[in-house]
Amino acid sequence: MRRVVAIVLCILLTAPVFTQAQNAPVKNSFQEVTSHLDPGGNLYVYLSTEEWVNGLAGQISQLRDFVNAVPSTSTDDKQNSARLFDLLARLVKQSGVEQISGFGMSSIALEKGLYRSKWMLHHNRGNESGFLWSAFGKQPHALAGLDLLPANTAFAWFSDLDLSILWAIVNNEIVQSGIVGAQQTLRDFRAQFLAMTGGDLDQSVASIGNECGLVVTLDESSAVNPRLRGAAGQMPDIGFMLVCKVKNDTVFGLVDSALKANQFVIRTDRSDLRMRTIAPPSSAGPVQQRISIARSGDYLFIASTDALIEAAVAVKAGRKAGLKSTDEFKKISQGMPEQGNAFTFRSQRIPQMIAGLQSQVLPSDPATNNQAQRQMLANLFGTPTTAGTYQVTANTPEGWFSVGNSGQNPASTLFLLPTMAAALITGATAIPSLLRSRQAANEAAAVANLRTIATAQVTHLSSRSNYGDMRALIQTGLLDSRFLSTISGYEFVVTVSGRRYTATATPTSPDSGRYGYSVTTDGVVRYSSVPSQAPAGQTGSPVR
């Protein structure tokens, strides 16, 4: 009885202590994070992460011990898993992830159709030792990458990036990991780089500066046919460009040396630009390829065309108006910081292009008229009238802080994520069906076009006593000139030999069509005589 009383007294005496401990407020970074956000909008989020990430490296080590405790695990497997978990723990320690104290996000409408969004990845002042806080820029600065963007830029991403820091960490951790084969893989990679380029991998990485960017342009003035169905199968010419600051000529010199024996290389050497362009035969498609690499000032350029590099250099020199001079950028950049460590720009022309493609791909398919799908695409990419997006991110004494203007409501995009996940799963099964539908439509069009050619040959024979090749049939008005180019993903060729002709329809790619077809003087359309371009067992058989 006395023991029971003693236990009860202990509980009663210590209860206030437990109550006080449970009710004591836990300090977090709420005030520090939210002081950078905009209240009163349609999105306001704060998440304290200190309890999640504090001691994360130690938690990984505990997980290692748990995995190694699984029965029937071989000694080698335990050693390799332990080394892998140790590697992850060291990377977490070096990254600075454990120093994150909170995350916040807000969104507020500036005017109709224009939203200001902010987010903050916070750490306490002075607590910034990991590469998360150093490899992507330390001090905000003028956004020089904006001065390289042509006026037709549709997407641009530029960021500070210290590859030397990241490459040193990779090398050091692979050496320390002790993982079987890891060091040999790294040595093999260095040897392959040396064999392909003739240069040292470490020196090449060290020559890269502290800024890299990606640029995508859309040129409506030179629209191309992307081999889509319908008469309006046109889309802007797409250009791609990778830009990096460099410290010297190491990378450009390696490429220049490798291209010296290539007869298709066009060499440009001016005071403001050295460029090497590989000019293959003209290519049809949404991306016109004249792969080019160039060095101008402190920048190294790799682009899909030399014209894109020339435009960037001209904008930088002030000889040509760039993105900053456009009405779209002036509107979307109002009130935005002029300094940072990274920026992202997306033009409203991207949703305009997507809307155009949507109307061209399977125009008669009921799925394209589904309002729910259209709304999801609008939430994700915006509508053709939606303003673009411009975001600037900076490394501050309290962590990464980002400010952006956008025509899209960030709240709609954020809450669309679960729907997007479901859509991706559904799309994984739906895309093959859509592809087969497109292939079937292209195949039916190819067969119909071959029958048109056969009819034209009969008319040509009756009026001129011989069969005609493609140009002859077009010149006499029996076929229109579109047969000289790709039609619904197929290319058509007519060959004449004496009193016989053969017309073939060949898909430009496996996505365009599964089978090839031909027709001769008997007027019967048959599957291709090439086994890989005909159904199994039906090579050369009539199409029914």
Q: What is the mean pLDDT of residues 215-226?
A: 76
Helices 56-68 and 75-95: crossing angle in degrees, nearest 10, is 170
Look-up of token digits 């409501």? 409
What confidence category does residue 394 fall into, taking pLDDT thresholds of 50, 70 and 90? very high
Q: E strand or H helix at 169, and its extent?
A: helix 163-177
The pLDDT, as a whole number, for residue 339 is 96
Q: Which residue has the higher pLDDT, 195 or 214?
A: 214
The pLDDT, as a whole number, for residue 431 is 52
From the list 199, 210, 291, 311, the residue with the least C-alpha distance to 249 is 199
Instruction: Retrieve residue 394's tokens.
Output: 């900076």
**pLDDT reading at 430 higher than 60:** no
**pLDDT reading at 367 higher than 50:** no
Q: What is the rounded distance in angstroms from the CA atom of residue 482 to the CA atom of residue 479?
A: 8
Q: What is the rounded distance in angstroms from the CA atom of residue 404 to the CA atom of residue 107?
A: 9
232-264 pLDDT, tens digit each:
456 778 899 999 999 999 999 999 988 888 888
Q: What is the rounded distance in angstroms from the CA atom of residue 176 to the CA atom of residue 473?
A: 72
The pLDDT, as a whole number, for residue 224 is 60
Q: Which amino acid type is present at position 462?
A: S
Percent of the chain clearing pLDDT 70 (strictly above): 78
What confidence category does residue 74 fall into, taking pLDDT thresholds of 50, 70 and 90? low
The pLDDT, as a whole number, for residue 508 is 87
What confidence category does residue 9 fall into, taking pLDDT thresholds of 50, 70 and 90? very low
Q: What is the mean pLDDT of the chain?
A: 81
Q: What is the mean pLDDT of residues 73-83?
A: 70
147-201 pLDDT, tens digit each:
999 999 999 999 999 999 888 888 888 888 777 677 888 888 888 888 888 889 9
Instruction: Retrieve residue 207's tokens.
Output: 């020559």
**pLDDT reading at 267 higher than 60:** yes
The pLDDT, as a whole number, for residue 215 is 96
Instruction: Retrieve residue 160's tokens.
Output: 């500070």
Q: What is the mean pLDDT of residues 284-296?
A: 75
The pLDDT, as a whole number, for residue 469 is 92
Q: What is the rounded distance in angstroms from the CA atom of residue 156 to the CA atom of residue 527?
A: 46
The pLDDT, as a whole number, for residue 24 is 47
Q: E strand or H helix at 213, and its extent?
A: strand 208-224
Cα separations (Å) of 46 from 35, 165, 301?
11, 31, 40
**pLDDT reading at 77 higher than 70:** no
The pLDDT, as a whole number, for residue 94 is 87
Q: What is the rounded distance in angstroms from the CA atom of residue 538 to the CA atom of residue 473?
A: 30
Q: Do 514 and 443 touch, CB atoms closer than 8 A?
A: yes
**pLDDT reading at 16 higher than 50:** no
Q: Which residue has the higher pLDDT, 90 or 399?
A: 399
The pLDDT, as a whole number, for residue 211 is 94
Range from 94-108, 284-298, 388-402, 524-538 carrying the lowest mean pLDDT:
284-298
What confidence category does residue 479 fall into, taking pLDDT thresholds of 50, 70 and 90? very high
Listed in sequence order, the residues at least 6 apart from 167 whose beta carbon sits closer than 8 Å to its beta carbon are 202, 205
Q: What is the mean pLDDT of residues 295-315?
A: 95
Q: What is the mean pLDDT of residues 50-75?
A: 69
Q: What is the mean pLDDT of residues 265-287?
A: 78
From the list 310, 307, 275, the residue with the least C-alpha distance to 293 is 275
Q: What is the mean pLDDT of residues 275-281?
A: 82
**pTM for the model:** 0.67
Q: What is the mean pLDDT of residues 508-525?
A: 90
